[in-house]
Amino acid sequence: MMLVDSHCHLDDPKFDADREAVISRAVESGVGLMLAVGAGDGPPDLEAGIRLAEAHEPIYATVGVHPHDACKADSGTWARLKELATHPKVVAVGEIGLDYYYDNSPRDRQREAFAEQLSVARGAQKPVVIHTRDAWEDTVALLREHWKADGPGGIMHCFSGGPAEAEEALALGFCLAFGGVITFPKADRVRQAVLVTPLDRLLVETDAPYLAPVPHRGKRNEPAFVAEIARRLADLRGEPFEALAEATTRNFRRLCLPEARDSG
């Protein structure tokens, strides 16, 4: 049995002291694949995830500009992203989207960067990893304009909406990735969204080092904890843990790994 952590920030400075040990612990706990999000500190460095993926067989990478860093991007950024999207271990463009909670970049720049990167992903025929916070309506509107439900697909990262938002995302062709938030006491709407998500559209993630699940809440998160999130998901859905682990691994492979897609 294998699990996939479909979203982790292993380049984060919080892992500088023991990054190799963190990766080893994940593998030893059954996490056979990890998706290292390549947003890093933003442009001009776009290769944070690639460096990890090149050094570690179980790690794949994304490339993208986080909405926080949209104001750092220019036309050269999008040209470079197009090049990096062809790297053999880059399996998605992300995390991209909108964040109106922090507003670290002006909202118009966020929307422009989002649309540009959806175009990059379409050209590369790679799925997208979506970040949206306090910006659901604009996120959905841009996806409807620039993304097709029958295209390469994508992941709603750290899904934190309720059943209605889940249904919208599913109708757009997305998989929903659930993380430590489902263990938080006040996350009832998110747990309701878990129940309306078909098994073949479900993913698990940690968002490490952030959003550690209970009982680790408030501490540094790490990919090994994805097993605890998966167990909680299985309990919520009334499904065997092994079946959920198998399904979420299969879903990730189908979405992100070309050899899995090609083999059906």
Closest listed residue to residue 160, CA positions, set 211, 102, 222: 211
pLDDT in tens, 39-53: 999 999 999 999 999
Contact 173, 149 (CB under 8 A): yes
CATH of residue 90: 3.20.20.140
Per-residue model confidence as pLDDT tens digits over 59-95: 999 999 999 999 999 999 999 999 999 999 999 999 9
Domain total of the chain: 1
Domain hosting residue 230, numbered range: 3-262
Residue 106: count other Cβ atoms within 10 Å of its Cβ. 11
The count of other CB atoms within 10 Å of the CB of residue 260 is: 15
What count of other Cβ atoms lies within 10 Å of the Cβ of residue 55?
11
Give percent above pLDDT 90 in the chain.
Answer: 96
pTM, full prediction = 0.96
Nearest CA among 159, 152, 195, 153 for reference residue 177: 159
Coil, strand, or helix at residue 191? helix
Amino acid in position 34 = M
